[in-house]
Structure 1
Amino acid sequence: MSRWAELTGGGSGAEYASRFARLADSGVDVHGEATLCASLVPAGARVLDAGCGTGRVAIRMAELGYDCTGVDLDVSMLAEARRRAPEMSWIEADLATLTGLHGFDLVVAAGNVIPLLAPGTEPAAVRALAGALRTGGLLVAGFGLDAAHLPIPPSVELAEYDGWCEASGLTLEHRFATWDAAPYEGGGYAVSVHRRPL
């Protein structure tokens, strides 16, 4: 069972969507992930939102002109994504056993996806996400590294994550402290951009 499922019981989709709707209504920019990803690949690029949840990132990127697919294991979250954007492709699958998806220009794993996977499945999930990339494609993952940035005890270190990426054939290209692309100089949150080399 994933740490996310243990945390939420797999039924928090509507509540999660409502929370972000309230933030957006209050004037908070809830599209930082999509903005950063859009700066990395041109409009029209194929994007896989891995651990897409309610579809917030994928839907925004589709609005910006990207060809987006979302994948998640939480059916309550996918139900919200399908309700909001029924015309888009939403796939129910475990990232650690993901197959059949290839040729993406960018894969994004936002919202603490990596540390909320089932314990021990992280390397397989990273390998699957790397396998979904075309040659030259990017894996972008943002997640917390300490208790202040996670809803669970910290479970993934950056060196460990980089090792999984390297073992999957990816090289580190950028590391930011936020989705606004602030330079990473240590701290409890990191956004990592790895590339599948040409």
Structure 2
Amino acid sequence: MSRWQELTGGTSGSEYAARFEALARSGKDLHGEASFCAALVPAGSRVLDAGCGTGRVMIRLAELGYDCVGIDLDASMLDVARAQAPGLPWFRTDLAAFDPALLGVAADFDLVVAAGNVMPLLTPGTESAVVERLAAALRPGGLLVAGFGLDAAHLPVPPGLTLPEYDASCAAAGLDLVDRFATWDAAPYDGGGYAVSVHRATS
């Protein structure tokens, strides 16, 4: 079972969406992740939102002209995503077993984004398998972007995955580190408790 399922029971889609709706009403910008991705690849690029949740990031990218696919294991989150954007492709799948061919999706994404602490909330021990699956979905030169917490202040669960471990998984999957930031606003990474990492597929 994933740490996310242990944390939520797989039934928190509506509650999760309501929290972000409240943040939006308060004036908070909810599109930092999408803006970050849009600065990396041009409109029209194919984007896979891995661990898409309720679709907040992907829906914004689709509005900006990106060709998007969303995948997640949490049915309650996908129910919200489908209700908000029924015309977009949403698939329920375990990231550790993700196979684009089984979903009828081409494995030539320009960018894969894993936002919202996807990596630390996976089933422990599957992190490398997930990175390998996501890397395999990229075209040569494509980018994997992942933002996640590294300490208790930035995670809803005890810290597990470290940056060296994540980088090692990426290297094993044929991905090179391009850049790393402290926020989705591209602030320089300073060794703090949250990191946004950009890796490129070498082949």
| Match status 1:147 vs 2:157 | no
Where does 1:105-184 land on structure 2 (aligned, <5 Å)? 105-184=110-189
Shift of 1:197: 1.9
The aligned length equals 198
Where does 1:49-128 land on structure 2 (aligned, <5 Å)? 49-100=49-100, 101=105, 102-128=107-133
Question: Hey, what's the Cα distance between the residues in 2 that align with 1:165 and 1:24?
Answer: 34
Please name the residue that 1:29 is paired with. Answer: 29
**TM-score normalised according to structure 2 size:** 0.97
Write the deviation string for residues 57-108 of structure 1: whole angstroms up to 9, x where unpaired. 0000000010011000000000000000000000000000101250000000
| Match status 1:12 vs 2:12 | yes
Question: Hey, what's the Cα distance between the residues in 1 that align with 2:186 and 2:202?
Answer: 22
Question: Hey, what's the Cα distance between the residues in 2 that align with 1:69 and 1:97?
Answer: 16
Question: Hey, what's the Cα distance between the residues in 1 that align with 2:2 and 2:135?
Answer: 20
Opposite residue 98 of structure 1, the aligned amino acid is F
SS of 1:7's equivalent in the other structure is: helix
Question: Hey, what's the Cα distance between the residues in 2 that align with 1:131 and 1:70?
Answer: 16
Unaligned runs of 5+ in 2: none
Question: Hey, what's the Cα distance between the residues in 1 that align with 2:96 and 2:9?
Answer: 19
Opposite residue 2 of structure 2, the aligned amino acid is S
**TM-score normalised according to structure 1 size:** 0.99
Shift of 1:174: 0.6
Unaligned runs of 5+ in 1: none
Question: Hey, what's the Cα distance between the residues in 2 that align with 1:131 and 1:91?
Answer: 17
Alpha carbon RMSD of aligned pairs, Å? 0.6
Aligned-residue identity in percent: 70
SS of 1:82's equivalent in the other structure is: helix
Opposite residue 174 of structure 2, the aligned amino acid is G
Question: Hey, what's the Cα distance between the residues in 2 that align with 1:69 and 1:84?
Answer: 14
| Match status 1:192 vs 2:190 | no
Question: Hey, what's the Cα distance between the residues in 1 that align with 2:156 and 2:171?
Answer: 27
Shift of 1:177: 0.2
